[in-house]
Amino acid sequence: MNIENELKRIEKSERNLAMQKKKLLGLKKRKKANQAKLATIVKLSEFDTPKELVEALIEKYDIQLNGRRALNGHTSPSRRSRTKVTPELRDLIKAKLKDQSVNRVSKELQISYPVISKIARGQYDQL
């Protein structure tokens, strides 16, 4: 172990930590300023709660919440329901798989990809 090399390595680590600390302090300061701005906006908005303000903004600017639950707690209307695989459905899917990909059949019939792939592998042939 070379002492000089270790001392240089330690000094370099100290510089890196100082730079990282400076960045984090700057982020903390900006976050605190943003929180103060938001608190002021909510107070000036005259809405009873911040949630009401957000809902009004979403409605006014027609903002879509993709991939998240809606503010009123309902899930997206495009969520699929559980699929009951019947012999007729199995035969329909197998016929479509002759001409189309698994992904396309899945999207077209709104049935999950794993169910389509299981049918293609023959795991539902016993129906």
pLDDT on residue 127 = 78
For residue 69, what are its two tokens?
A: 């639950």
Split the chain (127 residues) into runs of 10 and give each run's mean pLDDT: 92 97 97 96 93 94 73 58 91 94 93 94 90
* φ, ψ at 9 (rounded to 5°): -65, -40
Q: 23-36 burial by CB neighbour count: b if 16+ within 10 A, else e? A: eeeeeeeeeeeeee
Measured CA distances, 121 to 37, 61, 83, 98 (Å): 57, 47, 17, 13
Length of the chain: 127
pTM across the whole model: 0.44
